Amino acid sequence: MVITLIFKNQITMSLVQTKIKRLFNRSALIEIISVLYISMFIYTALSKWSDYDMTREQMALMPLITPVAHIIVWLLPSTEIALSLLIFFTRTKKIGLYAAVTLITLFTLYIAYMMIYYPTLPCSCGGFLNALSWTGHLIFNSVYIVLGVIALVLLKKERPSAGNADNLSYAISH
């Protein structure tokens, strides 16, 4: 009987340890993906603002956005910073990731359009992303879309702990 009790306790401890490892790995992966999104958005926003004139000129050449390029040149980096802030904070991480994946998906659709109709026009992404070909952009964005979807799926599976300040945002979103 004592041996059975010890065996049951070991199994219970093993299950608890496995659950803790899964939770930690899930949370760690969500945070890594969040940091990747935040880093990318802040980097590209600051790159666009630091070379404002070049960004404005390149955006003015872009089909479909030419009439509103003077607005997008400020709106897009501002949106990237706002999304970074949403992703940074736990309470708004899910909405931030949804918005980020949506934005990256829209960028990807625009890139596909550019690849088909205007393959020689320059990119106005900012920083090292300017050096990527349209195919490189498509791959880069696709990786970010997949990462964002993974983070959202993991967030959906994650349950807040009792007494967590984020229980309210979890309850509202589910």
Q: Look at residue 42 and tell me if it is in a domain.
A: yes
- 105: exposed, middle or buried (C-beta count within 10 Å: 0-12, 13-18, 19+)? middle
Q: Look at residue 11 and tell me if it is in a domain.
A: no
Structurally, the chain folds into a number of domains equal to: 1
pTM of the complete model beyond 0.85: no
Q: Is residue 48 pLDDT above 80, yes or no? A: yes
Q: Look at residue 91 and tell me if it is in a domain.
A: yes
pLDDT tens-digit map of 75-85:
999 999 999 99
Q: How far is CA 93 from CA 33, 48, 87, 117, in A?
A: 11, 24, 4, 36
* Torsion angle of C-alpha atoms 62, 101, 33, 92, degrees rounded to 10: 120
Q: Is residue 54 pLDDT above 60, yes or no? A: yes
Contact call for residues 119 and 134 (beta carbons, < 8 A):
yes
Q: Look at residue 22 and tell me if it is in a domain.
A: no
Range of the domain at 110: 27-158+167-173
**Which is more confidently placed, 21 or 131?**
131
Q: What is the mean pLDDT of the chain?
A: 83
In total, the chain counts a number of residues equal to: 174
Q: Look at residue 18 and tell me if it is in a domain.
A: no
pLDDT bucket at 2, cuts 50 / 70 / 90:
low
